[in-house]
Structures are given as structure tokens and as C-alpha cells.
Amino acid sequence: MAPTKKCVENEKSTFDKFDNLKVRLNALTGFAEKKIETISVPAAKSTFESILDLSRDCTSAYEIWLEVANSISLSDDKISEVKKDFNNVCIVTDQILIELNAIIGIKDQAEAKDVKAPSTRTPKVELRQFDKGNTRLWFDHLEIVFRTKNIDAEEQRFAALLKFLDETTSSMLTSITRSEAKNQYTEARRLLIKEFSMSKYDRVKSYLHEMAPMADERLTHFAARVDVLFEDITINDVRKFCLLRHAPAPVRLQLAGNRFDDLDVHDLLQEADTLTQRANQDMQ
């Protein structure tokens, strides 16, 4: 059934409210971005609070519009377009809030200790973009850069990390950004490593069966390149892999994730036998 005229007008009204708030938020974050290198602490506090309040209003208006849009079956293309636009605004807002909060926090800590205030500017961090294929090693390299630049504060580390992430990866950290927790970088590092790291089963499989030296590559260089695959791998993990690979493919797929990590050899094999038996019974 086509939406009524009143419903269509309601959608337009809620969208206009959201759009107006978004325009104001873009303007305020753009202003803060231009001033971030020279902004004073009082101005940083005031700007931080204004952006935070406006972002909450904008989020609330977006959620109201989205509910109305879904109720009148607005086209998926239109909803997707607005969602993408809203996510982009959120990413910029989160980054500005983190940088402002870092300026406020470092200054306040220095004043509390009654020492000369250190620079509130995060030193420039140079590194290749976030590597989803080798997440642990990439974070190891990032933390080496942090140490050489004397970047110890969680807020500064988190702000630097966000600059290396693409739009999709950044959106995974929205809940961490909005939480204003004191360990944002640590939590983001844990989440990204968990999301993009290979399972133990896949790492053992890759190490034993898939990796090979490149043409003219020395074995010492090859060993250093693949050593990250064997991080925290034990002899029991190798035993589990060597035995589990003989199980039927659906059973391997089911047990190659967290169950592979959590169970010892005996329990893993018992569960594999049980799943294989059930699969055989279902086929009869």
C-alpha cells in the first residue's frame, strides 16, 4: 500500500531536521579542524562540548528519520545514501572529538602536577596504511613508532590509529569512540586484531602447507617473514591441526575457529567424532 500524504510529509520533515543538524555539525567540525593546531584549552573544552551535544542531537534526528523512512518503505538506495552520509559525518566527528579531548586531557594532567605544560600536539606518525592481512605485525610496527615519538597517552595513540583506517574499518570502532573510555587505543587494538587475525588453525595450515620462499629469497629472510604465523602456537596446536585435517570438511569448518583454540587435543577429537557421527546419521 502506498504511503499516505501525511506519512510522506512526516518523512520530509524529519529528514529536513536531520539534514539541518548535519550541516551545522559539519560546519562546527570543519571550524575545529582548522583551529586544532592553535586552539587554546578553554576553547578546546567549549568546542568539544558543543560538538558532542550537536552530534547527539544529530544522531537522535537520524534515528527518528530512519524509523519513519522504513515505515513508509522508502527506497533502499535513498536509505543507503543517507546512511553512508551519516557514517561519514560520524567518523569526522569522532576524530575531532578525540583530538580535542587529547588536548584537554594532557593540559589538565600537566596543570595538576604543577609542571610546565608539554606540547598538546600529537607528533606526526608516519606508517603504511592499516594492514588487514598482517594485523599483529602492523600494530607491532605502529607501537615502535609510538615509542620513538614518545606518544604514550591512550587518546593520542587512538587519534593516530584512526588516521590509518579506511571508512569501513573506522566504523567498527564507533562504540569505542563514543564510550570516552580511558583505554580507547588498547580496546581498538584488541578488537581489530581479533577481527582481522587468522585463526590458529588457519595459521598452522598456512605455515605448513601454503607458505613458500619467493624466488631467490634466503631461508633466513623467509623464516622471519612467516614467523608471525607461529606466534603463540604450541605443539598441541600443531597436533590438533594434523589430526583435525583428516575430519570431513564440514566438521573441520565447524571446529577450526574458537573451538580449536579453546579445546585440548582429546576434547577436540571427541567433538569431531560426535559431529562426524551426527553428519553420517543425517545422511542415512
For residue 114, what pLDDT is reported? 47
Task: Name the pLDDT band for 120 (thresholds 50, 70, 90).
Answer: low
Residue 236 binned pLDDT confidence (cut-offs 50, 70, 90): very high
Q: Which residue has the cell 588516521?
A: 163
Res 223 pLDDT > 70 = yes
**If you average pLDDT over residues 224-235, what whole number do you get?**
82
Q: C-alpha cell of 132?
A: 588487514
- What's residue 274's pLDDT? 93
| pLDDT, tens digit (0-9, with 9 covering 90-100), for 255-277 | 988 788 889 999 999 999 999 99
pLDDT band of 3, cuts 50, 70, 90 = low
pLDDT on residue 127: 84
Query: CA-CA distance, 80 to 66, in Å (whole number)?
Result: 10
Residue 41: predicted pLDDT: 87
Over residues 128-183, the pLDDT tens digits come to: 888 887 787 788 888 888 888 888 888 889 988 988 998 888 888 888 888 777 88
pLDDT at 109: 52
CA atoms of 1 and 60, how far apart (whole Å): 28
Q: Which cell goes with 168?
A: 569501513
Q: What percent of the chain has pLDDT over 90?
A: 14
Residue 2: per-residue pLDDT: 62
pLDDT band for position 121 (cuts 50, 70, 90): low
Half-sphere exposure for 145 (CA within 13 Å, toward CB): 17
Residue extents of the structural domains in the chain:
5-111, 135-196, 200-282
- Residue found under cell 527518528: 64
Q: For residue range 42-70, what is the model confidence (pLDDT) as tens digits?
A: 888 889 888 988 888 888 888 888 888 88
Mean pLDDT score of the chain:
84
- Examine the pLDDT at 110 and tell me if it is beyond 70: no
Listed range (59-68, 110-119, 184-193, 235-244) with the worst mean pLDDT: 110-119
pTM: 0.43
pLDDT at 103 over 90: no
